[in-house]
Amino acid sequence: MSENPYRALPSVDRLLARDDVRASGDAAADLVRQALESAREAIASGRGAPSEDEIAEQVAGLARVVLEPSLRRVINASGVIVHTNLGRAPLSEAAIEAMAAVARGYSNLEFDLGAGERGSRYAHLEPVLRQLTGAEAAIAVNNNASALLLVLSVLAERRAEGDAPREVIISRGQAVEIGGGFRIPDVMAQSGVRLVEVGTTNRTYLRDYERAITAETAAIMRVHTSNFRVVGFTKEPSLQDLGRVAHEHGLALLDDLGSGCLLETTQFGLTAEPTVTESLAAGADVCMFSGDKLLGGPQAGIIAGRGDLLEAARRHPLARAVRMDKATIAGLHATLLHYLRGEALTQVPVWRMIAAPVAEIEARAKRWKRSLGSKAQVVDGRSMVGGGSLPEESLPTKLVSVAGAGAWVTGLARRLREGDPPVVGRIESGALLLDPRTVSPSEDAELVAGVKHALAG
């Protein structure tokens, strides 16, 4: 009779007696039981019993998954400045310090220190936002989708029981997907408003909006196409014209700007990106934009505009569900101060990267190449703005290229991603490309060491 394979499995106590298993701490016993259960399932499926060492190795693997943080710092050498998958905008040192300061202890998040009574978390950001944008009022929530949902929910409120749903008019070419499968029409439907699409994908006229206005219309909305561009046979009304029509009919004009730019992008050879100030001056009653794209701060959705609409948003029940926490408020406030002080180009990492001279980038690329040896070359390239900002826009740069056979280059990129810290580059035309523009100078030594280690592997 063959030996029962289940009896070959070590006991829980035997495994817990091993130093490499006990290193998992208080979770060790649970992890051992999970590993043994997996071993029993393997035997039941016809595979042999794993050895004690193999089970101990599985326990260590389970421990890494459970106990080690999966969210890690990454060196972004991809050349994409606002990289959505890598956390979008890196924060300034001042923003990081501000977030840490309020996280270490208590804060006056909702406490008026002067009056000694309850205050409002919205009070911390509104003064600086009003100063920067010229808006009557402003609030911030946890992201721009929330900002849109909150504003539309305010407009969706019916005037009397039994009334038809309020309507918001939007160009068919602006009913876009904003990433991760989330679509503007879905967000609008969730708010309770009825979406009214006008025009065609590529051409929408002012008269299309005018013909769609009914007694139930609450607003006209423009969505800035910040993550794609339609070119060729196109037509759309100006924001000024939309504002005129909206206001003639007593409607609100909403402008979803997406990335939320506060600086002129043309000074860097990029296409003009609409700024918040320009949008409000053109007639928008409410602007909505992100805090973690071209603004360069933590994830946030900012709403700026008419005082009565902002007050209604502030009091809406949904506002509590989408409000920001104390650390994010502090980080966003510190970021906004860089703009007020005129130091955004030097202190906000996103703008420091955009403004970096090619000569400075080339000097760093040459230093990397000297350290890496003959396998590396310095070549011309382009950096992408990315992250739903300035679609298809790029900046000239200098890249460090490491070429080789397809499988070898793919393996090199994988070893870099598995390093400590991970380094993310990009592969083009059979070469691994590393862009100094998106790497902080303080990370240069780590990047070079990581590439050397990956090459040796």
Residue whose C-alpha is closest to residue 363's, from 316, 337, 398, 315: 398
Q: CATH assignment of 91-347, given 3.40.640.10, 3.40.47.10, 3.90.1150.10, 3.90.1200.10?
A: 3.40.640.10
pLDDT tens-place string over residues 7-45: 889 999 999 999 999 988 888 999 999 999 999 998 988
What is the CATH T-level fold of the domain 75-84+355-456, as seen in this structure? Aspartate Aminotransferase, domain 1 (3.90.1150)
Own/partner pairs, 175-180, CB within 8 angstroms, 24+ separation: 175/223, 176/223, 176/225, 176/227, 176/228, 178/145, 178/227, 178/258, 178/388, 179/84, 179/227, 179/388
Other Cβ atoms closer than 10 A to 312: 17
Output the pLDDT for position 390: 67
- Which segments of the chain have a pLDDT < 50? 1
Output the pLDDT for position 331: 98
Which residues are CB-contacts of 257 (< 8 A; sequence separation ≥ 6)?
224, 226, 274, 276, 279, 287, 288, 289
Structure tokens at 236: 């759309």
- Residue boundaries of the structural domains of the chain: 9-67, 75-84+355-456, 91-347
Residue whose C-alpha is closest to residue 50's, from 36, 65, 31, 33: 36
Residue whose C-alpha is closest to residue 258's, from 197, 368, 174: 174
Output the pLDDT for position 236: 85
Could you give the CA distance from residue 451 to residue 132 in angstroms, rounded to a whole number?
42
Output the pLDDT for position 164: 77
Say if 75-84+355-456 and 91-347 have the same CATH topology.
no
| Helices 358-372 and 444-456: angle between axes, nearest 10 degrees | 40
